[in-house]
Amino acid sequence: MDKILDTRKVDKFDKLLDEVSSIVLTCHVRPDGDAIGSTLGWMHLLERLGKSVVVVVPDNAPKSLSFLPGFDRMAVFTRHEEYCEKLFKEAELVICCDFNQPSRLDRMQRLLDECLCPKVLIDHHVEPSPFADILFSFPDMSSTCELSFRIMAELGLYSEINLEAATCILTGMITDTKNFTVNCKSPDIYEILQRLLEKGCDKNRIVRLALMEKSYGAMMLEAYALSRKLEIFPEYHGSIICLDKEECERFHYEKGDTEGIVNRPTEIRGVTFSFFLREDSDCVKVSARSVMDFPVNAMCKDIFGGGGHVMAAGAEFYGSLSDCRKMLIESFPKYAHYLKGRTEKLDYFEVKDSNNND
């Protein structure tokens, strides 16, 4: 495995771990498999070292992750604010996983800001803000879970990774790489996969539960979005899907239900980028995906003040869904130059209605 970690930082972290006994682990709002997998993974490992550890999340994690060992033990800020505040106050160390800015904790940010104990950041998002005492930031890494495994190994703790910790870490790697189909060029990832399988992880079960299974409503909402709401902009090799609140409610929308929709148009031959706009209670959630390094993070940043990875980015728009869509479409020409030199043909035609009037 390539040695990428700064030994001095790892030593500093090692020393810090030796000195403390009560540790809070936290992650970003609307946590995903990588956020929950990394925090719970560290929890299981640190408990093996005799630490008193608790995972505090800004809001509920998706049901699809409830199979993870330790899931029911997480403290959820939106449900138990005072309790979470107490946990942060009493912590001797806070380990922040899978986010680059304190604002990613949403309303829970205050607890981190007010917390005086040392902080360690373990993350793979670009441009981390320097709020932590020790910063493990690797934007090229497939997932925070992959990075966590590397740090654990470098700390000499590989033998302490039990099946519970391994299951959590593998889950984050699987969800962030879509079962090793994106962001996984590095051969190291497969060595880590091997090490985790050696711990007894059931990879097929993780893929099924964390990545594939969904509710009937979520499946039908996606089908509706693709068949009725997909707009293709042939000139720009781009696509937009908009869903308003009423449409989501019709399909009994639950948090996380629309997660995969933004990816689907990029599966069409020649579609270079895809935007998904969903009307939420107080804003429009914008998510964007692309293929072949088309910079949707630049689009999200310039147009909506958002950000993210080159091929996976997002933003929030405080205005109407139709204004959001309009702003986006009007800005397409500005990014057309990124398409220069691309030769892929777009596979697109208008589907005729059958007009069956029997």
Footprint of Mn ion (CB under 5 A): 34, 98, 144, 176
Cβ 286 to Mn ion shortest distance, Å? 18
**Apex 37 CA angle, 77 and 166, nearest 5:** 140
Contact, 234 vs 348, CB < 8 A?
yes
Return the number of the residue (238 or 308) whose C-beta is nearest Mn ion: 308
Return the number of the residue (28 or 119) whose C-beta is nearest Mn ion: 28
Cβ 141 to Mn ion shortest distance, Å? 9
Neighbours of 76 (CB within 10 A): 18
Cβ 352 to Mn ion shortest distance, Å? 42
Return the number of the residue (98 or 279) whose C-beta is nearest Mn ion: 98
Cβ 37 to Mn ion shortest distance, Å? 9
In this structure, the chain runs to a length of 358
Between CA 280 and CA 170 the distance in angstroms is 31
Q: Which residues contact 322 (CB under 8 A, 6 or more apart)?
A: none
Between CA 330 and CA 338 the distance in angstroms is 16
Between CA 20 and CA 87 the distance in angstroms is 14
Between CA 300 and CA 355 the distance in angstroms is 39
Return the number of the residue (56 or 122) whose C-beta is nearest Mn ion: 122
Cβ 60 to Mn ion shortest distance, Å? 18
Per-residue DSSP letter, 210: I
Between CA 64 and CA 74 the distance in angstroms is 15
Q: Which residues contact 289 (CB under 8 A, 6 or more apart)?
A: 262, 263, 266, 273, 274, 296, 311, 312
Cβ 98 to Mn ion shortest distance, Å? 5
Cβ 321 to Mn ion shortest distance, Å? 27
Return the number of the residue (171 or 274) whose C-beta is nearest Mn ion: 171
Tell me the two tokens of residue 261. 């929709």
Return the number of the residue (31 or 238) whose C-beta is nearest Mn ion: 31
Phi, psi (5° rounding) for residue 209? -80, -40
For residue 302, which amino acid is it? D
Where is 27: in which H helix or E strand? strand 22-27
Cβ 35 to Mn ion shortest distance, Å? 6
Q: Quickly tell me which residue has 């803000």 as its tokens.
A: 129
Return the number of the residue (34 or 279) whose C-beta is nearest Mn ion: 34
Return the number of the residue (57 or 324) whose C-beta is nearest Mn ion: 57
Q: Which residue is nearest to Mn ion (CB)?
A: 34
